[in-house]
């Protein structure tokens, strides 16, 4: 992958998004539902788009919110809806539009005082806290966020009463109805003005932050972190966690140093990502360059993306690879949570590092490998059959200290705090813990590459069967598994995974681009990885014929 000349450098002025133009387009541009790129489309993380590209506009949010109102009515969801939003420029106007539609439909909804930003874990935690021990009148939620995507992006996620990302059977209904409304110019959308909405008794100002902060002691050993002399740096990266870190420090007596307290919808303080774009990806060493430069000032430091569902952990050696931190967290947690259910499993996606498989075997732990998408972990976190659930893109959650559910969506804040707890309790950084694992289980090399593909080829890849893979060996080793269904739950993976003793690859079609993605890993070094990648491309090409 070619690295842009600006990667890791502070974003120049000419790269910044024109925020007034973006907001104007949100209100003025009218999407055409007959054009595929302008329709409502729920991917693995909700509907995302850009107002100037007519893929995230006022009419989209009107239609989606009305569809959510109708969906929750059809399912008898009568409790309050918890509404969150991140700090992207399009999130605030989209939140206002959603409020106007929710109020007109008579939906009781909870919004943060002053329309302050509330991240994904804040909404999931609020839903689960409200719904605990309830069988009727349960709540659900909306988070308006495009996650770590560039400043011009907008996003809309729906979380049902289980508190996690909505499954495709839910988003399919919402997407279909939203596009029907969009096609008709949103004539059937109910809406009042913002002033009218906020004067209704169904609009409830709510404090999301205090209950979440107070509850942290039940999942992290906050008292032990507070008693330490650990030097901790925090970079909210201009995101929705920005209003959480000061209250956390004050509540528990922890002296965090917030290295970047700025809010800027253009994210002009960011360093440029690998491809020359501004992207608030806390798992990217290029986007996180400014915090990495400060690593010697702290014992541990961390950052979060705008909706705080991802984590970026910086130790004395630099930014940890997300797969490495997942493994270190698993090794630590399952040795330091004695009240977790005895048979609690590790949940991992099929494109996460196989060092997790080796670790699970070495620790005699149950492992469940599922398709890509955090939605596959929701039920296991609710019933505590998963102690930890994580995916390779730096998103994870885990159980409370007593073994109960915390969130059913990714929580970057607890993953950050876990790194501090790990250092206090063991005297070793997460990267040192990972180094110990490498000595025991091997040193994997992992990379994702993109391969050009047609729409027709992507459709074939998505529906492959193992019998279509003719190869018996890969990179000099016998193929031991050919998977088109995840071994942890039998669900279709929407692609192919091929495994040998010391390596694997997974191929999945992109939902938005004419490419398919190849994730690959080798325990025999970079040359072996390159061989796997080359042969993977050929294996897929042969299977697509």
Beta carbons of 310 and 329 less than 8 angstroms apart: no
Do 162 and 378 touch, CB atoms closer than 8 A?
A: yes
Residue 219 structure tokens: 């999942």
| Contact call for residues 271 and 10 (beta carbons, < 8 A) | yes
How many C-beta atoms surround the C-beta of residue 178 within 10 A?
Answer: 32
Among candidates 449, 468, 466, which has minimal Cα distance to 515?
449
Catalytic annotation, residues: 147
* Contact (CB, 8 A) for 21 and 27: no
Cβ-proximal residues to 383 (8 Å cutoff; 6+ apart), any chain: none
**Element containing residue 21 per DSSP (H, E):** helix 19-28
| 313 C-beta neighbours (distance < 10 Å), count | 31
- C-beta of residue 185 within 8 angstroms of C-beta of residue 398: no
β-pair partners for 496 = 507
Residue 260 sits at the vertex; the CA angle it makes with 256 and 264, to the nearest 5 degrees, is 140
First-to-last CA distance in the chain? Answer: 27
3-state secondary structure 364-425: CCCEEEECCCHHHHHHHHHCCCEEEEEECCCEEEECCCCCCCCCCCCCHHHHHHHHHHHHHH
Check: CB of residue 115 under 8 Å from CB of residue 53: no
Contact 179, 40 (CB under 8 A): yes
């Amino acid at each position: 992958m070619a690295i842009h000349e600006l990667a890791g450098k502070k974003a120049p002025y000419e790269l910044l998004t024109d925020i007034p133009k973006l907001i104007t387009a949100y209100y003025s541009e009218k999407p055409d539902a007959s054009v595929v790129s302008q329709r409502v489309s729920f991917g693995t993380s909700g509907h995302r788009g850009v107002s100037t590209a007519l893929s995230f506009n006022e009419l989209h949010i009107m239609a989606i919110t009305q569809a959510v109102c109708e969906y929750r009515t059809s399912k008898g969801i009568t409790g309050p809806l918890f509404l969150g939003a991140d700090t992207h420029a399009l999130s605030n106007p989209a939140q206002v539009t959603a409020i106007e539609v929710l109020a007109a439909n008579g939906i009781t909804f909870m919004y943060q005082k002053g329309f302050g930003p509330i991240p994904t874990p804040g909404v999931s935690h609020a839903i689960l806290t409200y719904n605990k021990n309830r069988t009727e009148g349960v709540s659900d939620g909306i988070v308006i966020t495009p996650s770590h995507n560039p400043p011009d992006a907008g996003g809309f996620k729906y979380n049902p009463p289980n508190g996690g990302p909505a499954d495709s059977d839910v988003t399919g209904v919402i997407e279909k109805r939203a596009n029907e409304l969009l096609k008709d110019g949103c004539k059937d959308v109910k809406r009042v003005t913002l002033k009218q909405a906020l004067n209704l008794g169904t609009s409830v100002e709510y404090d999301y932050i205090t209950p979440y902060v107070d509850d942290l002691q039940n999942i992290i050993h906050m008292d032990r972190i507070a008693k330490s002399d650990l030097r901790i740096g925090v970079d909210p990266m201009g995101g929705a966690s920005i209003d959480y870190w000061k209250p956390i420090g004050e509540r528990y007596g922890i002296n965090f140093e917030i290295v970047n307290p700025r809010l800027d919808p253009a994210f002009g303080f960011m360093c440029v990502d690998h491809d020359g774009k501004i992207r608030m990806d806390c798992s990217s060493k290029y986007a996180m360059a400014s915090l990495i430069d400060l690593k010697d000032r702290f014992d541990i430091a961390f950052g979060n993306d705008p909706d705080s569902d991802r984590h970026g952990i910086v130790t004395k050696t630099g930014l940890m690879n997300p797969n490495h931190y997942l493994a270190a967290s698993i090794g630590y947690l399952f040795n330091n949570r004695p009240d977790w259910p005895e048979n609690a499993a590790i949940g991992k996606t099929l494109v996460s590092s196989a060092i997790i498989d080796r670790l699970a075997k070495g620790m005699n732990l149950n492992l469940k490998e599922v398709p890509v998408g955090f939605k596959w972990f929701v039920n296991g976190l609710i019933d505590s059959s998963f102690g930890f659930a994580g995916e390779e893109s730096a998103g994870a959650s885990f159980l409370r200290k007593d073994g109960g559910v915390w969130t059913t969506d990714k929580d970057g804040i607890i993953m950050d705090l876990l790194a501090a707890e790990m250092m206090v309790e063991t005297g070793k950084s997460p990267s040192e813990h990972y180094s110990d694992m490498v000595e025991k289980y091997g040193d994997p090399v992992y990379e994702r590459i993109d391969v050009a593909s047609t729409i027709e080829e992507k459709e074939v890849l998505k529906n492959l069967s193992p019998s279509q893979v003719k190869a018996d060996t890969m990179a000099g080793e016998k193929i031991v598994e050919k998977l088109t269904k995840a071994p942890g739950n039998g669900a279709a993976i929407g692609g192919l995974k091929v495994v040998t003793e010391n390596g694997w690859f997974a191929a999945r079609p992109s939902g938005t681009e004419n490419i398919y993605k190849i994730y690959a890993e080798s325990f025999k070094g970079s040359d072996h990885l390159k061989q796997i990648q080359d042969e993977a491309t050929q294996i897929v090409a042969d299977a697509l014929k």
